[in-house]
Amino acid sequence: MPTILRWKGYRFYFYSNEGSEPPHIHVSKDRCEAKFWLSDTTLAYNDDFKDNEIRKLQDIVAQEKLRFLEAWHEHFE
């Protein structure tokens, strides 16, 4: 479960067994978790983050998209 980024208590990562899915990134903090597709940085699912947090996280995913994609391809190829 590689962690790609830690930011203000949020952890951005993916699971090592998810290589058959399209590139995406999970985000967690406390007991909340979300998943964003990296192709268009859309939200795949949200488990307990508030709407304002999701918007903030989506901005971070968009800013770090290339970094996340590089890590994804390095890990799964």
Q: What is the pLDDT of residues 10-40, one digit of tens each?
A: 999 999 999 899 999 999 999 999 999 999 9
Task: Choose between 2 and 1: higher pLDDT.
Answer: 2
Rg (CA), the chain: 11
Using CA atoms, how far apart are residues 29 and 67, in angstroms rounded to an integer? 20
Predicted pLDDT of residue 17: 92
* pTM of the full structure: 0.95
What average pLDDT does the segment 45-54 reach? 98
Instruction: Parse the chain into domains and list their residue ranges.
Output: 3-76
Structure tokens at 25: 């990134």
Using CA atoms, how far apart are residues 14 and 58, in angstroms rounded to an integer? 16
Question: What is the residue type of 5?
Answer: L
Residue 42 phi/psi, 5-degree rounding, is -85, 155
Using CA atoms, how far apart are residues 76 and 30, in angstroms rounded to an integer? 27
Arithmetic mean of pLDDT over the chain:
96
Confidence of residue 47 (pLDDT cuts 50, 70, 90): very high
